[in-house]
């Protein structure tokens, strides 16, 4: 309910319009939706597994599916995630 007010205030205070906000949120939102569908599908497929093992499996599936969707969408929308990921992994590879 507060989103229209937030969008109005963002445009007024910092000059960011609703289209830009929607465009910036589209990729992570779509990746989250894909992750949710994938995780629910795997959850329904796993039967008779101990709860802790199911939790570990679903967390791993969620992380991996989110990354797959995010990287796939990044290629389509040129969101810049690949460059950021390279910078982060490169920072881990350097010694202090």
53: exposed, middle or buried (Cβ count in 10 Å: 0-12, 13-18, 19+): exposed
pLDDT tens string 22-81: 777 888 899 999 999 999 999 999 989 999 999 999 999 999 999 899 888 877 766 666
pLDDT tens string 7-21: 778 788 888 787 887
CA distances from 5 to 8, 12, 36, 67 (A): 5, 11, 28, 32
**Taking 70 as the threshold, does the pLDDT of residue 84 lie above it?**
no
- The pLDDT value recorded for residue 78 is 67
**Taking 60 as the threshold, does the pLDDT of residue 96 lie above it?**
no
Q: What is the DSSP letter of 84?
A: H
Residues 6+ away with beta carbon under 8 Å from 82: 71, 74, 75
- The pLDDT value recorded for residue 39 is 97
pTM assigned to the model: 0.69
Helices (H), 1-96: 3-14, 18-45, 51-77, 81-93
Q: What is the spatial distance between Cα 71 and Cα 74, in angstroms, rounded to a whole number?
A: 5
């Amino acid at each position: 309910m507060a989103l229209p007010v937030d969008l109005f205030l963002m445009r007024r205070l910092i000059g960011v319009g609703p289209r830009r906000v929607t465009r910036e949120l589209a990729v992570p939102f779509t990746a989250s939706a894909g992750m949710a569908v994938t995780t629910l599908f795997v959850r329904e497929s796993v039967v008779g597994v101990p709860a802790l093992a199911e939790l570990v499996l679903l967390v791993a599936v969620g992380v991996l599916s989110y990354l797959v969707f995010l990287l796939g969408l990044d290629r389509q929308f040129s969101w810049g995630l690949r460059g950021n990921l390279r910078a982060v992994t490169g920072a881990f590879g350097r010694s202090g």
